[in-house]
A and B are shown apart, each in its own frame.
Chain A
Amino acid sequence: MASTYEPIATTTVAIAATSITFSSIPSTYTDLRLVIVFKAVLAGSNPGYQFNSDTGSSYSYTAINGSGTAAASQSSNTNNQCYLISNSTASTAQSQIFTTDIFSYTGSNYKTLLTTFSGDLNGSGNVSGVVNLWRSTAAINSVKFLFDSGTMAIGTSATLYGIKAA
């Protein structure tokens, strides 16, 4: 049986950083999966992804968010990154989780991502489901996880997995 779920690369932040980049992603998988456990140094940081160094207005999202007392949906387009938190910013208090699936990342269609965000802060926080679109027909060969302001704390980790359909 072929191995179908393989680690491509992992990074743990040793000094406060504004981004983590996985480059030279092989094209030999069907889908990609990112697991990110992160904390911010300063509040006010909006995490997101950029692909293939594209900083243009190529990204959009729709998110459903639970604050603990209300559920809400929102969307935004022509963004310069795939925003991942719909109603919150990165916490300085607790580690939070993104799990992101990137489907058919080498295909010639626009790329769809599906992310679950877990950010309970013991009395506050949010939980979200987010769908992102990157309007590019290029195969994804690099992924940058970034904060649009502030820095991610030491210990923030990101792992990129490749998933093969066969």
Chain B
Amino acid sequence: MATTYTIISSNVLSSSAASVTFSAIPSTYTDLVLRCSVRDSGSSGSSQQQVRVRINGSSSANYSRRNLTGVGSTAASANGTSNTSIAGFYAPDAGATSNTFNSFEVYIPNYATVQQRQVSVFNAFENNSSTVNEINVTAALYTDTTAITSLYIDTVSGLVSGSSFYLYGIKNS
């Protein structure tokens, strides 16, 4: 039986960084899974900052999204079109409880084919407070049809040391 869920590359930051990029992603898998845990280095005032994932380094307005988010006792939904990244989910920043990171997974099916792509994101972080926490499911559409060969991840102010990034390939046969 073929090995199906294979690590392609990983990066655990030993010092702060503005962003992380996985490039030269091989086209030999069916789907990609990106699993990360990050914290933003800034102080936004809201104790959290948006995480951004870009496909093939593109910051063009090729992304749209539907978010479903629970914060404390409130559930809400938001949307965006002509966005410049997969967005709408957050990580704790310097104002949040020390040593807290988010955990998120990005699932990208059929990444090597030429078509628009539906992407699924699941994100969560808990901060032992009633407001600075989140559980989030995001549906994102990337309307460029180019095959995916790189993934870029950042936060608004930068990624702290200890942020971790793992990219897996999944084969369906």
Q: Which residues of A contact B (CB under 8 A)?
A: 3-7, 10, 35, 37, 64-71, 73, 94-97, 99, 116-123, 125-129, 157, 159, 161
Contact = CB atoms under 8 A, between A and B. Distances in A.
A10 B173 contact: yes
Interface stretch (B73-81, B150-158, B159-167): B73-81
A30 B119 CA distance: 27
B131 interface: no
A37 B68 contact: no
Given A64-B75, A119-B139, A96 B118 contact: yes
Nearest to B30: A159
Given A5-B5, A117-B139, A67 B107 contact: no
B109 interface: yes
B172 interface: yes
Contacts of B140: 118, 120
A97 B120 contact: yes
A119 B66 contact: yes
A162 B78 CA distance: 34
Contact of B66 (A5, A97, A99, A125): A125
A156 to B, nearest CB: 11
Contacts of A161: 4
24 contacts: A3-B1, A3-B4, A35-B31, A37-B109, A64-B68, A66-B67, A66-B137, A68-B66, A70-B76, A71-B75, A99-B120, A118-B138, A118-B139, A119-B139, A120-B66, A120-B139, A120-B141, A121-B141, A122-B64, A122-B81, A125-B139, A125-B141, A126-B66, A161-B4
